[in-house]
Structure 1
Amino acid sequence: MTVTLRRPSRDLLAAEHAAAEFMTALGIDVTAEGMADTPARMARAYAEMLTPPEFTPTTFDNDHGYDELVLARSIPIRSVCEHHLLPFVGVAHVGYLPGHRILGLSKLARVVEHFAHGPQVQERLTRQVADWLDQQLRPRGVGVVIEAEHLCMSLRGVRAVGARTVTSTLLGALRVDPGSRAEFLAMAKGH
């Protein structure tokens, strides 16, 4: 079974003009030496951070009846907080207890990458990854834990440099079965 996750459309020229206006409104001289190309670079940088790459995740029959936990740990995430449009970075630990379908291991990272692009909040990102895996694979359980540092918290406001936010979504057996839950959380922590 395949489902293609698509990219939204974008207008880089309009974004460049808007970036120049934004910078000018903040008192930045975009005609100064070294600044002339900044609005274009800013537009390209945000387009890259906010636009998920297309990919087609393919699932496979679980021909061998594998029924133990599948876990990808420390998947890097880079996203942008929807409240301040500042980055947050960290890692995701994603696992599932297979049912009749399995997913290529690299696709776990691709699913995280897809949902991390675009204005996001960590809680929703965690849930989106878990829900997508649950819907596509119909596994016996899904677990997602995300740990991230939010630059909106460390560069401004409270300036809590190094503070990490941890969110989790557990579905199916990983939520209701204490043994499965404990195994997932221990493996996600690296124990």
Structure 2
Amino acid sequence: MKGGGMAELEEAASPLPPKRVDVDAIETAVGDLLRGLGQGDKAEVMAQTPRRVAELYAQSINPGDIDIEEDFKVFDNPGLDDLILVNDVHYVSMCEHHLAPAFGIAHLGYVPDRKVAGYSKLKKGLNYLSRQPQLNERLVVQAVDFLESRLQPKGIGLILRSAHCCIALRTNAPSQEVVTVADLRGVLREDRYRQPLWSSAVAERPSFLGR
């Protein structure tokens, strides 16, 4: 899906380097939001909630002191020339349209050339990119762009499956819809690599939704 025509997915702003937040500004804005929601007469809510929400959002948008450019290390390929799969990587994102959480599971596959990456680094890269107001369609492209630039693989593919709280809030019911987006490049477009990745990704219903 790289190079698609959706203008809002082609913003110039880079997802890197680490994000900066203003907790005091968030606190003020949340206070205004609560008053707009008719909660301004609740002393305990107005005294504590704006700061709690501000700190939660600050932590969500910038989890820890991460410099992903510096932290993401790659290693020389010891001789692998077949598909590497990393399945069931859990992540949390935030719907850009409603600022509501989305819970996801990622499935990554790549055929290495000269470099490989530690599995924890793959999760760290996705976590960094997802922990901000996002669209799934943008997140999958950004994540593959980032991983492809570091690994320079023969092919790479990423499948994201997620459930979104904004759907549950608007329908007043637990969200059971699973949103799936994918970006496959290079040899991952070939059936011999594509099929194992897709089969592992959709083998069962994501566990965060319950049974």
Fold-level similarity (TM above 0.5): yes
What is residue 96 of structure 1 aligned with on the other side? 110
Partner Cα separation in structure 2 for residue 30 and residue 142 of structure 1: 54
1:122-150 deviations in whole A, cap 9, x for unaligned? 11111111111111111011111111011
Q: What is the Cα-based RMSD across aligned positions, in Å?
A: 1.9
What is the deviation of 1:90? 1.7
Q: Distance in 2 between matches of 1:24 and 1:82?
A: 23
Once residues 70 and 187 of structure 1 are traced to their aligned partners in structure 2, the CA distance between those partners, rounded to angstroms, is 12
Equivalent of residue 16 in structure 1, options 10, 18, 27: 27
List alignment gaps of at least 5 residues for structure 1. none
- Segments of 5+ residues of structure 2 without an aligned counterpart are 1-15, 205-211
- Residue 40 of structure 1 pairs with residue 55 of structure 2: no
Aligned equivalents of 2:81, 2:203: Cα separation in 1: 20
Partner of 1:185: 198
Cα separation, 2, equivalents of 1:153 and 1:15: 24
Q: What residue is the counterpart of 1:58 in the other structure?
A: 73
Cα distance in 2, alignment partners of residues 87 and 165 from structure 1: 14
**94-103 vs 26-35, greater mean Cα deviation:** 26-35
Alignment of 1:92-131 (within 5 A): 92-131=106-145
TM-score of the aligned structures, taking structure 1 as reference length: 0.89
Which residue does the alignment assign to 1:168?
A: 182
Scaled by the length of structure 2, the TM-score of the pair is: 0.81
Q: Residues 144-187 of structure 1, C-alpha deviation per residue, up to 9 Å, x if partnerless?
A: 11110111112115857211101111010001x12111122223
Identity of aligned residues (%): 35
